[in-house]
Structure 1
Amino acid sequence: MPNSSRVNVILGWAIVVFSLLLVFVWIPLDTTTGVIERVRRQTLIGDSMAPMIAGIFLLIGGALLLVFERKASDQPQIDPLNLGIVTLMAAVIAAGFLIMRFAGPAAVEINNLITGSDLEYRLLRDTPPWKYIGYFLGGVLSITGVISLAEGRFSIRAALSAVCAVIFMIAIYDFPFDDLLLPPNGDF
């Protein structure tokens, strides 16, 4: 038992500590509004609502890892193959974020070259279809890539699952709220 791995315990505590720092330190210091704002008798979503929900889900996930931690002898060992897969997944997600960040502005520039227009993405970031381009392409790439790495192969089913998941997230986060910008549109 002394050489056994405690991967789930270490990962669980790391996620719990990170999520607590996220919820109680990073988000409050990084956003100017709270979770819900009241302005002139209107209730609006604050800047911190989406990251706060994400932080709470991380906290729940970390707590579940700690609560349902298996015996040390049943836990997987950290080895170079596992670290390589995690590194590949992080690279796929980073590539998805880069595409999410730059696909919308690139699409506007391509449109300007083709049509001779003088559009600016900053002014279009909350108008369809421009506001969906980066979020959709980056999200589909991230989800498809992670599923493909987990399955060990690319599949059309993974890509279709990613498309459905991203459309579902757009429907949940964008359609009901007039004052919410999908990432990364708030950065422009």
Structure 2
Amino acid sequence: MQKISTNLVLGLACIVFALLVAFAWIPLDTDTWLVERSRGKYVVGDSLAPTLAAAFILIAGLMLLIERRSEDTRPGMENLKFIGAMVVIGIVSVLVMRWAGPVAVSLLQGDGEYRLLRDTAPWKYAGFALGGCFMVFSMISFVEGKPSMRAALIAVIAVAGIIMLYDLPFDDVLLPPNGDV
């Protein structure tokens, strides 16, 4: 009988989660598909971003199954600590993302209201850029065991790339967390 390995458990968990998100959560929570045609132009549908996220999680799960090694052990305390650290970094990053824009507006704009400025540069990028860079930088630094300029550069390039792919081509897209504020 084959041993239950960390990669097997985590890979299967990722695959199940991705399939649940893609085929249950997204269809029940969104009204539009990936891309919609409205008034002669294509607009991003509500389900595009979560579907892409589910696809990346599915790919990661499949990669974990393919990369299984014979010396891989059962899930242990080190695995739980790693997952816990990633969850904490994710939560802190989302909080930074959520509050960086409103705080920046109150400090730099004084009388401005963030809700009215959330779709104007540079305010619409403040939370996403700071929270996203913090997330990528913190995760890389945690995995490598130390912060580095390389991790900071990767974080800035990754977040800038996401902004260029999601925000710049579409007039009606609000980067997180601006759609919820």
Determine if the TM-score, normalized by the shorter chain, exceeds 0.5. Answer: yes
Q: Give the structure 2 partner of residue 105 of structure 1.
A: 102
Q: Give the structure 2 partner of residue 48 of structure 1.
A: 47
Residues 7-16 or 74-83, more deviating? 74-83
TM superposition shift of 1:59: 1.3
**Which residue identity lines up with residue 149 of structure 1 in the other structure?**
F
Structure 1 unmatched ranges of 5 or more:
none
Return the alpha-carbon distance in structure 2 between the equivalents of residues 47 and 173 of structure 1.
Answer: 13
**Aligned-pair RMSD on alpha carbons?**
1.7
- Deviations for 1:90-146, whole angstroms, at most 9, x for unmatched residues? 211211111001110111122344xxx2x2211111100000000010011111110
**Which residue identity lines up with residue 40 of structure 1 in the other structure?**
R
2:157 paired with 1:158: no
Q: Aligned to 1:187, what secondary structure does the other structure show?
A: coil
TM superposition shift of 1:186: 0.7
TM superposition shift of 1:13: 1.2
Count of matched residue pairs: 181
Q: Aligned to 2:179, what secondary structure does the other structure show?
A: helix
The answer to whether the Cα contact below 8 Å between 2:5 and 2:75 also exists between their aligned partners in 1 is no
TM-score after normalising by structure 2: 0.92
2:21 paired with 1:22: yes
Return the alpha-carbon distance in structure 2 between the equivalents of residues 79 and 68 of structure 1.
Answer: 18
Q: Give the structure 2 partner of residue 13 of structure 1.
A: 12
Structure 2 unmatched ranges of 5 or more:
none
TM-score after normalising by structure 1: 0.88
In the TM superposition, 1:12-91 aligns within 5 A as 12-71=11-70, 74-91=71-88
Q: Aligned to 1:32, what secondary structure does the other structure show?
A: coil
Return the alpha-carbon distance in structure 1 between the equivalents of residues 116 and 40 of structure 2.
Answer: 28
